[in-house]
Amino acid sequence: MNKLEVGILGATGMVGQRFVSLLENHPWFELAWLAASDRSAGKTYAEACSWRLREPMPESARRLAVHECQTGAQGGKIPQLLFASLDSKVAGEVEQEFARAGHVVVSNSSNHRMEPDVPLLIPEVNPDHLALVTAQRRERGWKGMIVTNPNCTTVGLAMSLAPIEQAFGLEKVLMTSMQAVSGAGYPGVPTLDILGNVIPHIAGEEEKVEQETQKLLGKLSDGRVRPGDFAVSAHCNRVLVEDGHMESVSVALKSKASVEDLIAAWRKFRALPQERRLPSAPAHPIVVREEKDRPQPKFDVNTERGMATVIGRVRPCPVLQFKYMALSHNTIRGAAGAALLNAELMKSEGYLD
């Protein structure tokens, strides 16, 4: 099979680096084009990028040129499929420019997520929402399109909720996060802010989690998503962890269920990415651990190559009904891996032909 050439908008940031790393040896996609800020444009990727991942920069990426984030960027054809991890200050306009020019923009930025004609997608949760792009292209008169994945904190929560929403119906969700510093990008969180500390605020994060979760678990009806009719409340905190967002979750359900019922629902959960064996899909999208003190970022964040949501400590909640911990890798399942899986879904659905 000929691989499909792909590009990255915002290739030098933390999520951009994850894209580069995950695309190395990808069976369907081949990294052919990189773009970043004007400061980086004109350099090779090795020159432009302050690589922060533990695994070395892929050799194949080192010598790629970094272009400007413009549809008219010089120096080689821009691929149809573009992964985007731009700063939200510029992402809105740049993504639109590329979509208008015919590119399929698979974005990790928040700018367009909540627009009614833009799919906000987790392939295991709401693959049918991808159909929103038909309206998007028609209404906006675009040849290309924009498809988004959720915020890094939303993903783990929504993944953990989907199976129990399907089985028992959701009424209330209260989540407190303890988020890793890589979620703030690079240079991101100054050491002086977080050493021996907890920061109880991340700008815009709680609103994103609350709104995105309802959109993700909403129903597609008449070409629009009707948000889930359950309440969501998020407390978001930053802690001194490199990768992996931890979430203490309490839920109330519509139907009667037991702790064992929840665990069973999570364990048997499989969806379209698993059925179609999409390359980045985890074999087990949800892994439930039985130790009394897991999941932990140190040991569990890379479960299923960082694509699984790891759940533990499932127990009754005296205020709502159940409580549990969920852990999700914020720059893999919560960002670059999320977008990559979205693109794989789109390819398997014929959107990239």
Give me the active site residues, please: 152, 245
Applying CB under 8 A, does 248 fall inside the site for a second copy? yes
Contact flag: residue 156 with a second copy (CB under 8 A) = no
3-state SS, residue 310: strand
106 binds a second copy (CB under 8 A): no
Q: Which is nearer to a second copy, 51 or 98 (CB)?
A: 51
How far is residue 34's CA from residue 7's CA, in Å, rounded to a whole number? 5
The tokens describing 261, both together, are 């019922």
8 Å CB contact between 108 and 8: no
125 binding a second copy? (CB under 8 A): no
Identity of the residue, 33 or 322, whose beta carbon is nearer to a second copy in the bound complex: 322
| Binds a second copy by CB under 8 A, chosen from 239, 259, 263, 352 | 239
Is position 283 an interface residue for a second copy (rule: CB under 8 A)?
no
Site for a second copy contains 318 (CB under 8 A): yes
From candidates 299, 305, 349, 351, binder to a second copy by CB under 8 A: 299
- Does residue 237 interact with a second copy by CB under 8 A? yes
Which of 284, 313 has the CB closer to a second copy? 313
Which residues, in sequence order, are CB contacts of 275 under 8 Å at separation 6+? none
Which 187-226 positions form the footprint of a second copy (CB under 8 A)? 187-201, 210
**Does residue 263 interact with a second copy by CB under 8 A?**
no
The helix (run of H) or strand (run of E) holding residue 93 is helix 88-100
Listing DSSP states for 94-155 in one string gives HHHHHHHTT-EEEE--STTTTSTTS-B--TTT-GGGGGHHHHHHHHHT-SSEEEE---HHHH
Question: Helix or strand or coil: residue 59?
Answer: helix
Bridge partner residues of 199 (DSSP): 238
By CB under 8 A, the residues from 29 to 68 that bind a second copy are: 52, 54
Closest CB 259 distance from a second copy, rounded Å = 15
Check residue 304 and report its DSSP letter. Answer: G
Nearer to a second copy, 187 or 223 (CB): 187
**Distance between CA atoms of 124 and 280, rounded to whole angstroms?**
12
Interface residues with a second copy (CB under 8 A)?
14, 52, 54, 172-174, 176, 178, 181-182, 186-201, 210, 231-233, 235, 237, 239-242, 246, 248, 250, 292-299, 302, 312-313, 317-320, 323, 325
